Amino acid sequence: MNSSLLLEKLLQKYRFSKVKNYLKGSILDFGGNRGELKDYIFNNNIVSVKNYKCVNDIKEVDKKYDTIVCLAVIEHIEVKEVFTIIRKLLEHLNDNGTLILTTPSIKLKWILEFLAFLGILDKENIKEHKHYWSKTELEFLAADFSSIQYNTFQLTLNQIIILNK
């Protein structure tokens, strides 16, 4: 993501504000771009993994965490890989830990593509989107978790799912 674009920065900070209250203990920011979440919440217990394109990148994850976040990540990964990655991340989540995902809804697809066409959003970032997840698909993805909270934000154009182990 080209976080130098103003709208990209604003959307990223808004996403951070939606998850901030759920962050606890040791935190893994999976797909954490340039580690901006750590700068935003000033928490020394955050580890960022920038590479997330395939399940092999989880090798960088070497311990268990209280909270794992994947903010605006899963839409960039092939659906089959996402299921595998979530299962692998579950192995790195402490008991009673929380996994937090955000992803754009299908309603946002044409808006993102139009804003990228205009150069307001990073064209390469939007072109990289492999899949726009529905609520039902996210709930299916969360099958191995004990509790699930689902909400939308940004006028239902984005989704957040909080999963507890």
pLDDT at 2 over 50: no
pLDDT tens digit sequence for 27-77: 988 887 777 888 777 766 777 776 555 555 566 667 899 999 999 999 999
CB 105 within 8 A of CB 157: yes
Q: What is the mean pLDDT of the chain?
A: 86
Q: Does domain 6-164 have CATH number 3.40.50.10860?
A: no
* pTM for this prediction: 0.87
